[in-house]
């Protein structure tokens, strides 16, 4: 009995370092996501926007005129490089509920063609309701931009995957195989959808995520592509830390992996920051949650002496981009950081 041939990819997910048209964000407004410290959160968004608009246009989702006024106030009245879009949301984590911008896999497709892939969203396995407005965002953006939207028929958050743009995708077993997302799909069924809608000719599976991560192990806190055939990955040197074992196991997996082009991965190690706690709860602090923009890399920092080391390593990895630290000590109390609240649109 012969196996059925794999379906050809319909689309290709560009790598994050490919040129961007814009960076998308949602203005924060859900106080329950940062209990007790919400007033400290809008300034973090303002810092990200100031760093991003030097590199590319910022497209920001805002609920109403009152929220527009909040944005203006946070930016000191300067909205240069920022375009506001009237789209209501439940929360600010646009990486996970927003669309993934892809291109047709057919090289004969129209130059510049873009498509929005809409993945179902259920707030990381039904953890935080309501999420109806967030789930509707891909369709809303498709209408705003006049771009086609395709439904993938699968729950998937953008932070759970990372693409090299050449057919290789990183993800984790702890998240994508979790029955709280797609109980009717096995590993093969999930890989088939990743192949068709993101162009993943090869999926590289890591294991568990980091402590404090309520997403069940998003890969954007663990390991990221930084160039074809090259990844940076988080390591915890302290054997007493609960992150030491899972990160060591992921490192060992990476050392034995090859990408879709047959290259053995070059693996660059990036230290973890010291543990960050709020109200006695450990938060998922990681330098890996960075965003690659056109001329900059925005990196979460945590007021630690390790910040400088992490920024230095990423500066070597991205020699043509300015590495900008974004203080995320408060932001990570929402259980996410820079990458979680941004989504790139390819040029």
Question: Residues 224-275: pLDDT tens digits?
Answer: 999 999 999 999 999 999 999 999 999 999 999 999 999 999 999 999 999 9
Residue pLDDT, tens place only, 14-39:
999 999 999 999 999 999 999 999 99
Taking the model in full, what pTM does it have?
0.96
Please report the pLDDT score of residue 8 as a whole number.
Answer: 83
Q: What's the pLDDT at 1?
A: 42
Establish whether 283 is a catalytic residue: no
276 by Cβ neighbours in 10 Å (0-12 / 13-18 / 19+) ranks as: buried
- Number of structural domains in the chain: 1
| The pairing of beta strand 57-62 with beta strand 82-86 | parallel
What gap in Å lies between CA 202 and CA 210, rounded to an integer? Answer: 24
Question: 3-class SS at 211?
Answer: coil
Query: How far apart (Å, rounded) are the C-alpha atoms in residues 104 and 115?
Result: 7
Band (pLDDT 50/70/90 cuts) for residue 112 is low
Confidence class for position 113, pLDDT limits 50, 70, 90: confident
For residue range 135-185, what is the model confidence (pLDDT) as tens digits? 999 999 999 999 999 999 999 999 999 999 999 999 999 999 999 999 999
Mean of the per-residue pLDDT values for the chain?
96
- Compute CA 144 distance to the chain's CA centroid, rounded to the nearest angstrom: 22
Residue 25 lies in a domain: yes
pLDDT tier, 3 (very low <50, low <70, confident <90, very high otherwise) = very low
Q: How far is CA 182 from CA 124, 170, 185, 300, in A?
A: 11, 18, 6, 31
In a domain, 312, yes or no: yes
> Residue 62 maps to which CATH number?
3.75.10.10
- Check pLDDT > 60 for residue 334: yes
Specify the range with the lowest mean pLDDT, choosing from 7-11, 99-103, 210-214, 343-347. 7-11
Give the pLDDT band of residue 106 (cuts 50, 70, 90): confident
Judge whether 4 lies within some domain. Answer: no
Q: What are phi and psi of 90, to 5 degrees?
A: -85, -35
Who contacts 152 (Cβ-Cβ below 8 Å, separation ≥6)? 117, 118, 119, 120, 193, 196, 197
Higher pLDDT, 138 or 112: 138
Residue 2 covered by a domain: no
Residue 289 lies in a domain: yes
Mean pLDDT of the 205-213 span: 98
**314 domain residue, yes or no:** yes
pLDDT of residue 256: 97
Q: Identify the sign of the CA torsion 171, 177, 182, 186.
A: positive
pLDDT in tens, 298-312: 999 999 999 999 999
Q: Which structure tokens are listed for 221?
A: 């806190």
Residue 226 lies in a domain: yes
- Asked if residue 120 has pLDDT above 80, the reply is yes
In terms of pLDDT, which residue wins out, 81 or 7?
A: 81
Report the percent of the chain where pLDDT is more than 70: 97
At residue 282, the 3 state secondary structure works out as strand
Residue tagged 């794999």 (tokens): 6
Q: Which domain holds residue 272?
A: 11-346
Q: Is residue 149 part of a domain?
A: yes
Residue 108 has pLDDT above 90, yes or no: no
């Amino acid at each position: 009995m012969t196996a059925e041939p794999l379906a050809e990819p319909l689309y290709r997910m560009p790598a994050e370092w490919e040129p961007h048209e814009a960076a998308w964000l949602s203005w924060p407004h859900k106080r329950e996501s940062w209990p007790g410290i919400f007033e400290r959160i809008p300034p973090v968004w303002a810092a990200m926007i100031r760093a991003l608009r030097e590199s590319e246009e910022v497209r920001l989702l805002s609920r109403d005129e009152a929220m527009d006024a909040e944005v203006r106030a946070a930016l000191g009245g300067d909205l240069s490089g920022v375009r506001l879009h009237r789209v209501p949301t439940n929360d600010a984590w646009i990486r996970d509920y927003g669309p993934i911008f892809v291109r047709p896999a057919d090289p004969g497709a129209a130059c510049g063609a873009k498509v929005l892939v809409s993945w179902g969203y259920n707030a990381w396995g039904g953890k935080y309701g309501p999420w109806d407005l967030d789930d509707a965002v891909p369709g809303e953006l498709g209408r705003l931009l006049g771009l086609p939207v395709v439904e993938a028929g699968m729950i998937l958050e953008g932070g759970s995957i990372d693409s090299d743009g050449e057919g290789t995708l990183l993800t984790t077993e702890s998240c994508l195989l979790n029955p709280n997302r797609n109980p009717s799909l096995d590993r093969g069924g999930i890989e088939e959808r990743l192949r068709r809608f993101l162009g993943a000719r090869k999926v590289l599976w890591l294991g568990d995520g980091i402590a404090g991560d309520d997403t069940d192990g998003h890969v954007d806190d663990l390991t990221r592509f930084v160039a074809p055939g090259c990844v940076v990955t988080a390591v915890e040197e302290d054997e007493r830390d609960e992150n030491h074992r899972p990160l060591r196991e992921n490192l060992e997996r990476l050392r034995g992996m090859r990408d879709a082009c047959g290259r053995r991965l070059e693996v660059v190690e990036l230290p973890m920051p010291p543990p960050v706690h709020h109200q006695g709860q450990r938060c998922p602090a990681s330098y890996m949650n960075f965003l690659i923009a056109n001329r900059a890399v925005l990196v979460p920092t945590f007021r630690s002496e390790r910040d400088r080391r992490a920024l230095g390593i990423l500066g070597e990895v991205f020699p043509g981009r300015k590495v900008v630290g974004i203080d995320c000590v408060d932001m990570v109390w929402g259980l996410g950081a820079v990458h979680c609240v941004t989504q790139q649109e390819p040029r």
